[in-house]
Amino acid sequence: MHLVIFYLLTNYYMKCFLHIGTEKTATTTLQNFLHLNRDKFAKYGFLLPKNAGYPNNYKLPILAYNNHRRDDLTNINGIYTEESLIQFQKKINEGLKTEITESNQLFFFHLSISNLD
């Protein structure tokens, strides 16, 4: 599964567009196009965050992992313990908050994703 995430930011609202694609659904092509044109999209208020794993947001699903889940994705990111998972989630969450806030000077941001088993 691949993820493409970007935000439309304005002074009045924020929308998150999340494309979740399985193999052979052109997700990689979409990711490459969006990131190649990242600066152009930014001029129109779109943010394609880098903090969740550039260019395909591969770190994003880890935010929803329960404290005991371990797989190839956690191993690739050096997550072997409950504490290292919690610290990784905190780092990604804070990085996304900072990236989104700095891009539009938002005063409040809350990211909440349900746990994936």
Blockwise average pLDDT, block size 10, the chain, 117 residues: 53 68 76 86 81 84 92 95 96 88 54 49
Q: Is residue 98 part of a domain?
A: yes
Whether residue 35 lies inside any domain: the answer is: yes
Alpha helix ranges (H) inside 1-117:
27-36, 38-43, 72-76, 82-104
φ, ψ at 4 (rounded to 5°): -125, 125
Q: Which of 73, 37, 78 lies closest to 57 in space, CA to CA?
A: 73
Give the structural domain span for 49: 2-104
Say if 113 falls within a structural domain: no
Q: What is the pLDDT of residue 32?
A: 85
Give the model's pLDDT for residue 12: 60
Q: Is residue 111 part of a domain?
A: no
Q: Residues 48, 86: contact at Cβ < 8 Å?
A: no
